[in-house]
A and B are shown apart, each in its own frame.
Chain A
Amino acid sequence: QLQLHESGPGLVKPSETLSLTCTVSGDSISRSKYYWGWIRQPPGKGLEWIGTIFYSGGTYYSQSLKSRVTLSVEQAKNEISLKLNSVTAADTAVYFCARLGDPNGNYFDSWGQGTLVAVSS
């Protein structure tokens, strides 16, 4: 059974870089050839797509975050990583990783539980 688990610091200072890892278990990123994505949800607000990465490394990013976001794949560790630099309080959110469930990467069929990241000094 596929499981995704997000991990990383729960508190990041303003202007610093937020770094999160999504560990995938129950499937191999390199063998399954799926797209993987990150989504965030500020407290009390809706879902916001951050970006998507193919198992081989190709990426798509939200236009609003593109200048600050980097996604990467570590196939040997079966992990997906997110880096968001120059964070502000507006980046405080629950961050989810998810698998995209079709060959074209159109929708998210499996989600991690999410991890809350607060941006504060």
Chain B
Amino acid sequence: SSELTQPPSVSVSPGQTATITCSADVLAKQYSYWYQQKAGQAPILVMFKDNERPSGIPDRISGSSSGTTATLTIRGVQAEDEADYYCQSSGNGIVVFGGGTKLTVL
């Protein structure tokens, strides 16, 4: 696996749509996974295999992947969505995380 590149920060107003990208050559052949981490808490899985939501994750959070870029989209952003978001991929047992994106709700 190689490095996964994320923007350090994304800012949106409540009710708007937040888009967080994750780029790496390996994403063309490996799945992406996404985690949400709120301050002082452990991460939680919000998306797996590019676009599958774990139970309990609202459907306004969605994922996609095209070529070498995976995208996490949060529609109708709420104050509770303010958090750090990390993408992750894996191959042949090796796991790699992106650097994380801080989502700020203005």
Contact = CB atoms under 8 A, between A and B. Distances in A.
B62 to A, nearest CB: 17
Contact of B44 (A46, A47, A111): A111
B97 to A, nearest CB: 4
Classify chain B's interface size.
Answer: 20 to 34
Tell me what chain A mostly uses at the interface: helix, strand, loop, or mixed: loop
B63 to A, nearest CB: 12
Contacts of B84: 46
Classify chain A's interface size.
Answer: 20 to 34
B45 A108 contact: yes
A35 B48 CA distance: 16
B97 A106 contact: no
Nearest to A109: B45
B61 to A, nearest CB: 16
A47 B86 contact: yes
A112 B44 CA distance: 10
Contacts of A37: 95
B13 to A, nearest CB: 26
A46 B48 CA distance: 19
Interface string B77-98: 0000000101010100111111
A117 B40 CA distance: 15
Interface string B35-68: 1010001111100100000100000000000000
B45 A46 contact: no
B96 A49 contact: yes
Interface of B: 31, 33, 35, 37, 41-45, 48, 54, 84, 86, 88, 90, 93-100
